[in-house]
Amino acid sequence: MKAKIQSFVVLVLCLIIASCSSDDDGNVTLTPEGQWLVTSLLIESSFDFNGDGNASRDMFQETSCYNGNSIQFFDDGDVTIDVDLAYIFIDNNNLHDVECQNGFGLTSTWTQNGNTITVVNDFNDDDLVGTISGNTITLTVENGFEVEFYDAVNDDVVIMDEDFTIIFTKQ
C-alpha cells in the first residue's frame, strides 16, 4: 500500500511540474490603448538651454516646453497627439532664446505588429515607429530635432538637425 501511495504522489508531482512549465516564449504582445505622457526627450548632443551650468541630452532637464505632452491611442486605430515645441536659437555658441510654442494637436491612425507600433505621419512619408515594452513606448525620429545657430563670423544662420528619442510612459 505504501508503494502505491508513493507512486501516486510521484505521479501527481510529475503532473504538477509538467503543468507548471512556462508557455511564455517571451513574446508577450502589449497593447497601447490609453494615454501615454512624454517623460523623456533625448537628443544626440548635450546642451545647457536652461543656463544652470549642466548640459544634458534630455530636453526635460533643459526646458519645460515638453511637460504635459502626450499621445492617446484609441482601440479603433485612431491616435491623438498633443505636442508643444521649443524654438531654440543659439548666437555665437551662447543661448539666445528658448520659446515654447504650445498647442499643436495632431490626429492620425496607428497599427501594431507585435511590440512595434506605427503611427501614420501625414506630414511626410516617414511614419513614426516605436517599441512598446511594459509601461513605456520608445520612439526615435531621425533628424527631427532642429537647432538654429547664428555664426557671427560668417553672418549666417546654421541649422543643425539631430535624431531624437521620445519615451512615453503609460498613465
pLDDT averaged over the chain?
A: 78
Name the most confidently modeled range: 76-85, 119-128, 140-149.
76-85
- Look at the block and give the residue holding cell 490603448: 33
pTM attached to this predicted model: 0.72
pLDDT of residue 101: 83
In tens, the pLDDT along 34-75 reads 999 999 999 998 888 888 889 899 988 888 888 888 999 999
Residue 88 amino acid letter: I
Domains in the chain, start-ordered, CATH in brackets? Answer: 31-170 (2.40.128)
Say how far apart CA 144 and CA 32 lie, in whole Å.
Answer: 23
In tens, the pLDDT along 125-159 reads 678 899 999 999 999 888 888 777 777 788 888 88
Task: Name the band, by pLDDT with cuts 50, 70 and 90, for residue 117.
Answer: very high
Q: Are 19 and 6 in contact (CB under 8 A)?
A: no
